[in-house]
Amino acid sequence: MSGGELLILLALALPLFAAVVTYAVGRMPDVRETLTLVACIALSIVAISIFMRVGQGDPPELMLAQPLPGLSIAFRAEPLGALFAVMASVLWGINSLFSIGYMRGRREAHQTRFYTCFAIAMFGVMGIAMAANLFTLFVFYEVLTFATYPLVTHSGTPAARRGGRIYLITLVGASVLLFLPGIIGVQAVAGSTAFTPGGLLDGRVDPVMGSVLLLLLVFGAAKAALMPLHGWLPNAMVAPAPVSALLHAVAVVKAGVFTVLKVSTYIFGPGLISTLPAATWILWVAAGTIVTASLIAMTKDDLKARLAWSTVGQLAYITSAAMLPMASGLVAGGLHMVFHAAAKITLFMCAGAIYVATGASRVSEMGGLGRRMPWVFVAFLVASLAIVGLPPMAGMWSKLLLITASFGTGEWLTAAALIASSMLSLVYLVSIAFRALFPPIGDGAAREFVRPGGTPATALVALCITAAACVVLFALADPLARYLAPMAAVNFMESAP
């Protein structure tokens, strides 16, 4: 077995192993959580090694099983997937740190189930990131759906169960009724579903067939929460904060947009996308999603609901990027996937930290809290600015690239939606931090801590790391864009403004 095969096997086996072990030692919380952290670190190292190998032009490959000729469970790392794997595994580690503080601070029940399902979800993410064909991606996509269902319904209340039902029905329904027929269509047209640089279907379909397949595959990936299949995301906010943080800012929703990016890059290819009328329709839907979601976010008083709606909008950015008939759009989409993950996980962790310390979950209850919890709200401010896309936060680069790419291809509607939503996010996110840090004179006294000592230390450390990452990534944008460039088969510097 070559080193590359071993790396992919490890990336798949480590989370699975972590799931079994955390389940087995469930009665000893300290051991359980130590092992989770060890697994996170090990997985991050493996993911980074895969990332490096891809960068050196030696992508690891692995063929796991082939039930039928032409239908295989196979893996091959490529830039976008390697980046996704690194992002997910590193953020899993940081988020586990946060979970430990949050879950203990809230004395949540069923913590073992929580950590076990988390690890299985990471198994799904690694499979999605490394999948070499649509079929493999589909299988792991479903693993992720089913592994996260118990996390969404964690509290077991009727509201949680209702959210879980919507979650399962929307995601499974869309993937079976739309995504799977799309896969079968691709297989029928091309005789394979392998991700091929330049586009598997390029030159093999007419615009009508191509449009049908594109619509099936993009809307079938309901984890990308493109309207009208976005309803599950705000409903899934009944989950505990760490679940929302990792799954609904990083793993689940990013698996959705990652799928969209993969489909547009490797199944259709930029050349084919530019000839498909459906790509333009999806751009319009995405633009509508961006603006509508931002407007709804403004009306939400519940902080997590507001963040969820903001996520719906931000995901539509990436879907737009995938549909822009320009290769640099794909790079921008890949970058935004990472930058938004860092910012949104910070925001969710802040929401969780505020909730643990003070019991406040509504924006209107948070006035003046910045004085009591300065670290949390400074982190919140940094991450909000990253979402808005102001320098020196990483979010700026991807937004800039996206807006230029959409102007460059004449998609003024997309550009307008992007600019409008940035303005709106300034209002619905940054204002929260300002009101907490600099309360207007006349506001009542801020809330008291309900938990002695406020936010648990591990939770605080975790959210400070990701907030710092939002700034550090600002400087890393160029190397990352260069890393992603081969996937779009373009020279990034030439197409950049």
Partner 1 sequence: MIELAALYVAPPTLTAHAPVLAIAVPLLGACAAALAPSGRASWVISVIASMVGAWMALAVAGEVMRENVIIYQLGGFAPPAGIALRIDAMGALLALLIGAVGTLGAIFSGHSLVAEVRPEKHTLFQAGFLLAQAGLVGLVYTGDAFNAFVFLEVSSIGTYALVAAGERRDRRALPAAFNYLIMGTLGATFYVIGVGFLYAATGTLNMADMAARLGTLDQSAAVQAGFAFIVAGLGLKAAMFPLHGWLPGAYAHGPSLISLFLAATATKAAIYLMARFLFEVFPDGAAFGEAFLDWVLAPLAAAAVIICSAQAVFSSELRRMIAFSSVAQVGFIFLGFSIASADGLSAALFYIVAHGLMKATMFMALGGFAISVGARRLNDFAGIAREAPWTALAFAIGAASLVGTPLTMGFLAKWQIIEAAIASGRVWMVVVMAAGSVLAVIYVGRMVEVMFFREAVPGAPRAKESPIGVLVPLLVLAGLSVWFGIDASLPQQLAQSGAAGLFTVRP
Positions in the binding site for partner 1 (CB under 8 A) = 65, 67-68, 71, 73, 135, 138-139, 142, 161, 165, 173, 176-177, 181, 184, 187-188
- Residue 69 vs 453, nearer CB to partner 1: 69
What is the nearest approach in angstroms of partner 1 to the Cβ of residue 65? Answer: 5
- Residue 238 vs 484, nearer CB to partner 1: 238
What is the nearest approach in angstroms of partner 1 to the Cβ of residue 168? Answer: 9
Closest CA to 82 of 486, 354, 471, 476: 486
- Residue 136 vs 211, nearer CB to partner 1: 136
What is the nearest approach in angstroms of partner 1 to the Cβ of residue 72? Answer: 11
Distance (Å, rounded) from C-alpha 162 to C-alpha 139? 25
- Residue 146 vs 474, nearer CB to partner 1: 146
What is the nearest approach in angstroms of partner 1 to the Cβ of residue 254? Answer: 22
Closest CA to 116 of 19, 36, 27: 19
- Residue 201 vs 459, nearer CB to partner 1: 201
Residue with tokens 């009944």: 238
List Cα–Cα distances, 24 to 37, 96, 326, 360, in angstroms. 16, 18, 50, 35
What is the nearest approach in angstroms of partner 1 to the Cβ of residue 423? Answer: 42
Residue type, 22: T
- Residue 181 vs 359, nearer CB to partner 1: 181
- Residue 16 vs 71, nearer CB to partner 1: 71
List Cα–Cα distances, 210 to 2, 52, 273, 403, in angstroms. 38, 35, 9, 26
What is the nearest approach in angstroms of partner 1 to the Cβ of residue 68? Answer: 6
Residue with tokens 């950049």: 496
What is the nearest approach in angstroms of partner 1 to the Cβ of residue 180? Answer: 8
Distance (Å, rounded) from C-alpha 2 to C-alpha 11? 14
Question: What is the number of other CB atoms lying within 10 angstroms of the CB of residue 431?
Answer: 14
What is the nearest approach in angstroms of partner 1 to the Cβ of residue 141? Answer: 10
Is-contact 321 258, C-beta < 8 A?
no
Closest CA to 50 of 103, 126, 150, 158: 126
- Residue 187 vs 196, nearer CB to partner 1: 187
What is the nearest approach in angstroms of partner 1 to the Cβ of residue 278? Answer: 20
- Residue 180 vs 378, nearer CB to partner 1: 180
Cis peptide preceding 29, ω within 30 of 0: no
What is the nearest approach in angstroms of partner 1 to the Cβ of residue 324? Answer: 31
| Cβ neighbours of residue 271 closer than 8 Å, sequence gap 6 or more | 198, 199, 202
- Residue 173 vs 359, nearer CB to partner 1: 173
Closest CA to 205 of 215, 213, 194: 213
Largest CA distance in the chain: 72
* Residue 65 dihedral angles phi and psi, to the nearest 5°: -155, 155
- Residue 150 vs 370, nearer CB to partner 1: 150
What is the nearest approach in angstroms of partner 1 to the Cβ of residue 176? Answer: 6
List Cα–Cα distances, 36 to 19, 29, 112, 203, in angstroms. 9, 10, 11, 47
> Which DSSP letter does residue 370 get?
G
Distance (Å, rounded) from C-alpha 435 to C-alpha 233? 27
Distance (Å, rounded) from C-alpha 120 to C-alpha 252? 12
Question: What is the number of other CB atoms lying within 10 angstroms of the CB of residue 493?
Answer: 10
**Tokens representing 283?**
């751009």
If 0-12 CB within 10 Å is exposed, 13-18 middle and 19+ buried, where does residue 288 land?
middle
